[in-house]
A and B are shown apart, each in its own frame.
Chain A
Amino acid sequence: DVVMTQSPLSLPVTLGQPASISCRSSQSLLHSDGNTYLNWFQQRPGQSPRRLIYKVSDRDSGVPDRFSGSGSGTDFTLKISRVEAEDVGVYYCMQATHWPLWTFGQGTKVEIK
């Protein structure tokens, strides 16, 4: 199975400041079709997970442009350019390259300082 490792696991941030979350996979997420299927999910308190980013850097519909994704191969990053109060929650990376066996990072809890 592909193991996804996130860091940090806890991220206190100041409102208006940037935030960055790292995700590493135990093997390459490059699919045979040439795409890399790395997703980022946001889970706000008491809510179900919502996908923000797919294929490393494509934003889902309605996702603010302060969220961006980057990376390739086994190293990926989610960045929030200016953290807002509504961004509090847990963020998960998830690989879909090796469907059906989706695997997830441990989650990074973003909170306001």
Chain B
Amino acid sequence: EVQLLESGGGLVQPGGSLRLSCAASGFTFSSYVMSWVRQAPGKGLEWVSAISGSGGSTYYADSVKGRFTISRDNSKNTLYLQMNSLRPEDTAVYYCAMGYCTRTGCFWGQGTLVTVSS
């Protein structure tokens, strides 16, 4: 059974940093691209970042480019999102998601809440 468990969310002041983690199990982690998607309170879904299976290719939404860094440790089956220079508009639940979501096997975690506020 595929499981994705996010952690690391919390309350942080504007300009601060936070690192999110997503622990994966139930599939061959290194074989899958992974992504982060966020959802502001009461709002819709926004793709944030993605990374190839090897970690050699990374992609970012314009809204987070230069501030967020996606990475992965395939030996630990864990995905990360380092978030720096946080802004109030980054407040959201952050979900990790496996795969391209083009065919079978598109799973999301339960999410972790990040609140950026003074």
Please report A residues at the B interface, Cβ cutoff 8 Å: 35, 37, 39, 41, 47-51, 54-55, 60-61, 92, 94, 96-97, 99-107
Contacts and interface: CB of A to CB of B under 8 A. Distances in A.
Nearest to B48: A102
B35 A54 contact: no
Contact of A94 (B33, B45, B59, B103): B45
A37 B102 contact: yes
A49 B95 contact: yes
Contact of B106 (A35, A39, A97, A100): A39
Interface residues of B, number: 21
Interface string B44-56: 1111001000000
B102 A35 contact: yes
A48 B111 contact: yes
Main secondary structure on A side of the interface with B: loop
Contacts of A106: 44
B104 interface: yes
For A51, A55, A105, the residue with the greatest tally of chain B CB atoms inside 10 Å of its CB is: A51
Given A39-B106, A49-B108, A61-B104, A100 B44 contact: no
B47 A103 contact: yes
A35 B101 CA distance: 13
B109 interface: yes
Contact of B35 (A39, A51, A100): A100
